[in-house]
């Protein structure tokens, strides 16, 4: 066991902290939440220059070839700063294409993804908002050249910025297929932007007879289900890791506030009632931190641990959102205002706790994996 950062990871953490403090402060987070797409595009441009979309893509495909554990170090910082930028989407779709896609698809898409020329975002959910791969219903008809897709996917993050989606469809015989669909300026794809608590763009997409070439199919049949399960698990761990960073930031902010706010002639943070809230928050944040890095480590091996992924998302979803509410309690009236930044964290935590499976979804997965 080793809970310390490698040299590479320290480098990632330090450069991310420095960059994000400057480029993703609360004014940027608020601007993006208010629909400022230029602020979002400008941040993405800088993020691409830093090479973050390339981080976990293999060197042979133009990436940096780093591990999911290394990515997790970056994700905690992105979570702590609430950075409105689609690194999770980019990283997990690249991973699935790399692990399940054809050589041709990999050499076509991954170098462009590493360069930020394409952005592929997952489009998994439908009207029933189930993260079970088996429940996908969006129809695809087989043609000589590939597929023609008609249907709807909901809650697609950064769809407005994405060039492609990675989505699961059912072909004529009911066989599932995981496929990369170009959506950038595609006439057959309609976007409905949603008003979402996350503060980043989230849309539903309607596909009207969208043609996709055979080469864009990543996997079919059981392999498509396995790939989608892995996509969801990777997304769950990635979101949990962002939540871990978010939790750390909220603990720090609450310590800072309570150590300085005075009542009865002394800092409110000197009262045991407040200290015990904070001690529990700190324990929760550390536990989530360890669980997410343990899960991320399993993704750095061949395959991943279903149990660790589920445990990470269960704990992150429940503990970090609860921690945010307790932080509001510790902040008193000021934390209830729109002006104070605390609610930005709380809103993001609410969005992330359900993204890629809420705790109930992952508890069911975990129970099955424990032999129940």
Partner 1 sequence: MRFEFTAEENDFRRQISEFLDDVLPDNWGGSTYMSDDDSWAMDQQFRNELVKRKWLVMSWPKQYGGSDSSPMMNTIFADEMAYRRAPGLDGFGTRMLGPTLMAFGNEEQRTQHLGAIARGEVQWCQGYSEPNSGSDLASIQTRAVLDGDEFVINGAKIWTTMGHRADMMFMLVRTNPDEPLHAGISLLLVDMKTLGIEVKPIVNMADIHHFNQVIFDDVRVPKANLVGDLNDGWRVGMTILNHERSGIEFAAGARAAIEELIVYINNDDSPVSQAKSDPNIRIKIAELSTEVEAARLLCYDVTWRHGEGLEPSFEASMSKVAGTEIYQKVLDFGLEILGMYGGLIVGSPQAELQGRFLKMRMLSTATTIFSGTNEIQKNIIAQRGLGLPRIRRAAKTT
Binding of partner 1 at residue 275 (CB under 8 A)? yes
Q: How far apart are CA 100 and CA 341, in angstroms?
A: 41
Binding of partner 1 at residue 11 (CB under 8 A)? no
Binding of partner 1 at residue 366 (CB under 8 A)? yes
Of residues 44-73, those binding partner 1 (CB under 8 A) = 69
Binding of partner 1 at residue 269 (CB under 8 A)? yes
- Least distance CB 232 / partner 1 (angstroms): 17
Binding of partner 1 at residue 283 (CB under 8 A)? yes
Q: How far apart are CA 179 and CA 142, in angstroms?
A: 13
Binding segment for partner 1 (CB under 8 A), chosen from 74-82, 115-123, 155-163, 263-271, is 263-271
Pairing label, strands 164-171, 120-123:
parallel
Evaluate the CA torsion angle 57, 120, 305, 347 in order and state its sign.
positive
Residue appearing with tokens 């297929």: 177
Binding of partner 1 at residue 266 (CB under 8 A)? yes
CB distance 145 to 211 below 8 Å: yes
348 DSSP 8-state letter: H
Binding of partner 1 at residue 290 (CB under 8 A)? yes
Binding segment for partner 1 (CB under 8 A), chosen from 149-157, 174-182, 195-203, 262-270, is 262-270
The number of angstroms, rounded, from the C-alpha of 291 to the middle of its chain's C-alpha atoms is: 16
Binding segment for partner 1 (CB under 8 A), chosen from 56-64, 125-133, 214-222, 362-370, is 362-370
Using alpha carbons only, give the angle 372, 292, 242 rounded to the nearest 5 degrees.
125
**Residues present in the chain in total:** 372
Tell me which of 271, 340, 343, 358 binds partner 1, using CB under 8 A: 271
Pairing label, strands 266-267, 262-263:
antiparallel
Among 293, 266, 275, 249, which Cα is nearest to 330's? 275
Residue 204 or residue 298: which is nearer to partner 1 going by CB?
298
Residues that bind partner 1 (CB under 8 A): 1-6, 9, 69, 251, 255, 258-259, 265-267, 269-272, 274-276, 278-280, 282-283, 286-288, 290-291, 293-294, 297-298, 308, 310-311, 314-315, 360, 362-364, 366-367, 370-372
């Amino acid at each position: 066991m080793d809970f310390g950062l490698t040299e590479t990871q320290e480098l990632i953490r330090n450069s991310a902290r420095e960059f994000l403090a400057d480029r993703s402060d609360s004014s940027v987070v608020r601007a993006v939440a208010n629909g400022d797409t230029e602020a979002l595009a400008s941040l993405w441009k800088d993020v691409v220059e830093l090479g973050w979309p390339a981080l976990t893509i293999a060197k042979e495909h133009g990436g940096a070839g780093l591990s999911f554990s290394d990515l997790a170090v970056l994700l905690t910082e992105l979570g702590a700063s609430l950075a409105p930028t689609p690194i999770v989407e980019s990283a997990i779709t690249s991973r699935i294409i790399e692990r399940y896609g054809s050589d041709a698809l990999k050499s076509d898409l991954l170098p462009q993804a590493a360069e930020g020329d394409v952005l592929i975002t997952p489009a998994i959910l439908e009207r029933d908002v189930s993260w079970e791969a088996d429940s996908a219903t969006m129809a695809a008809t087989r043609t000589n050249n590939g597929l023609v897709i008609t249907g709807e996917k909901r809650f697609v993050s950064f769809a407005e910025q994405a060039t492609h989606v990675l989505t699961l469809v059912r072909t004529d015989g009911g066989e599932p297929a995981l496929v990369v669909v170009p959506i950038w300026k595609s006439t057959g794809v309609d976007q409905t932007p949603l008003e979402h608590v996350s503060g980043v763009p989230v849309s539903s997409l309607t596909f009207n007879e969208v043609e996709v070439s055979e080469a864009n199919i990543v996997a079919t049949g059981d392999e498509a289900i396995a790939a989608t399960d892995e996509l969801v698990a990777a997304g769950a761990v990635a979101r949990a890791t962002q939540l871990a960073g978010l939790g750390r930031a909220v603990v720090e902010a609450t310590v800072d506030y309570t150590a300085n706010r005075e009542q009865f002639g002394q800092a409110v943070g000197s009262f045991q009632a407040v200290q015990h809230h904070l001690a529990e928050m700190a324990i929760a944040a550390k536990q989530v931190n360890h669980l997410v890095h343990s899960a991320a480590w399993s993704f750095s091996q061949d395959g991943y641990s279903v149990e660790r992924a589920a445990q990470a998302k269960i704990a992150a979803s429940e503990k970090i959102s609860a921690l945010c509410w307790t932080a509001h309690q510790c902040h008193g009236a000021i934390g209830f205002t729109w002006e104070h930044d605390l609610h930005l964290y709380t809103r993001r935590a609410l969005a992330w706790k359900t993204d890629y499976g809420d705790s109930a979804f992952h508890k069911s997965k975990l129970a099955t994996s424990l032999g129940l």
